[in-house]
Structure 1
């Protein structure tokens, strides 16, 4: 199963009437102004999205595309997909239950409860929470929303790239995208279809796509580190894997210290308060893991901001 531009266009039309979903800003800055040897940096400020992450797009698209039973919706999430599902469920007036792993931050759990979701801790890692979630779905018949591996979820994420193209009058030359289960990467790459280079970025301690490329197929990996709450999927999604095979040439790993330093830099220099998962693009540029051409326009998706603000002190 894969996603194409037609599916993303359909998702965009489905989402358009819902005013709570935001058209987030695209901020264009000369690379030299930030010490990066490229023509321009295009920051897609998706951390300002409803629910604090890009995932609101895919979760709302999933809920709008499927009938929702009286038992509501259920999702397993390190935090962001759960928050996004809770935001969408509240907007549509339906019940929401979220299974989180124990690594999910207290700030994300508090946010889920504030949105009216029922929160259940389901094991140490995302895979454990997913297993518990699937068992509950079988019991209740609730609509299952997957954090990254459903067609509607990936297509919804792809509307972000469609929006970048509209706002920028075209696509940048490259887009640096963080990868957990791959829903965002899959949606972005499906929209771009090779018209912009999509570079997949992962923490070295959560290398799901990187290991899949080594093995030639999705495989389970051990995950941990500073971004494990939002990039902690043990296996890249099947949809994202198919799209990556066609449209993603580079998959890079970044160390935790570089990710944390980039997160702090974004706050210190630009006053952009983002979670570690959103800092991988700047980490790749600041460490030289990704070296753009001098004339390159580099897009960076700041994908989320659900964190403890004390981490930026």
Structure 2
């Protein structure tokens, strides 16, 4: 588990190394007609194009404080965004990074990893394939292993977004919609906002890791596919995320691939924000009606990543409610 104290410590530790991303208020009728106020948290403007930089810096800086970051550098397993974040953080801290990604990782993410100076190893077709290869490499080399989502310092770093949201809304926040893959982002935000605002954990129907875990009373492996699999491709929710969801009462919601595609295009058409399909899942819950706010509810949608190919973002799409 991670605690609010862990998140607050992470905020102090990574301050000055990550961006305080903007909060944009939007007309409620554009996302949630029954809501009183609505915001988009623009975490897609974070270093490397996703929220992952927060957890990466917190993990590496925590390891540095404990003498665990050596000349062997870091090894990470990632579908893309976590690898980018660890590569960026490692470069900023003057250490080397080796990143294992599945062969299905988007070319744009692989190219960015190499631009950041990381050694990239493509293994298998799923995140788990890359994960197994990375853990073996870390054990053999003595490098610091960096999990994409299931490490306390990583989750605590992601939770700093929740602290920012609370401050930026002056505490006038009821609900945050967060996309869930392995669950590190949800775990951190839910922990940061526990007792203050609810978290709606949005998953693609084709990757229901949290739903399956809650039904089974523990993390289980599920088949994963669909348009958001490149960023929400974990086949098993993290232990930390499962415990955080159960402890904080995070509400799970499923969305279809069609709803995700429509939401991604709607966000582009209305605000010219190019987001990943995984990121669009959070918006899809509102735009499709999978989550309906209560009258007067104050709602924020966390737009968490922008590492996408924008070539198909053409034409207006009007989502249904």
Q: What are the Cα deviations for residues 11-42 of structure 1, in whole angstroms up to 9, with x where unaligned?
A: 00001142xx1110011123025563311111
Q: Are residues 1:13 and 2:42 paired?
A: no
Task: Tell me the residue number matched to 1:25.
Answer: 22
Could you tell me which residue of structure 1 aligns to residue 34 of structure 2? 37
How do 1:1-313 and structure 2 match up within 5 A? 2-18=1-17, 21-33=18-30, 36-66=33-63, 67-313=68-314
Query: d(CA) in 1 for partners of 2:217 and 2:204?
Result: 20
Shift of the alpha carbon at 1:213?
A: 1.0
Q: Runs of 5+ in structure 2 lacking a partner?
A: 315-321
Contact 2:127 2:233 in 1 (8 A): yes
Q: Say which SS state the counterpart of residue 97 (structure 1) adopts.
A: strand
RMSD, aligned α-carbons:
1.1
Once the two structures are superposed, what CA deviation does each residue of 1:155-203 show, in whole Å capped at 9, x if it has no partner?
A: 0000000011111111511010100000000000101113111111000
- Counterpart contact for 2:32–2:293, Cα < 8 Å: no
Number of residues paired by the alignment?
Answer: 310
Give deviations 1:195-234, integer Å, cap 9, x for gaps.
1111110001111001111111100011111111111111
Contact 1:5–1:190 (8 Å) recurs in 2: yes
In 1, distance between residues paired with 2:188 and 2:230?
21
Structure 1 runs of 4+ aligned residues shifted over 2 Å read: 32-37
Contact kept? 2:190, 2:250, Cα under 8 Å? no
CA distance in 2, matches of 1:311, 1:91: 33
The answer for unaligned runs of 5 or more in structure 1 is none
Q: Distance in 2 between matches of 1:297 and 1:162?
A: 16
Distance 1:4 1:34 in 2: 31
Q: Do the aligned residues in 2 keep the contact of 1:200 with 1:248 (CA within 8 Å)?
A: no
TM-score scaled by length of structure 1? 0.97
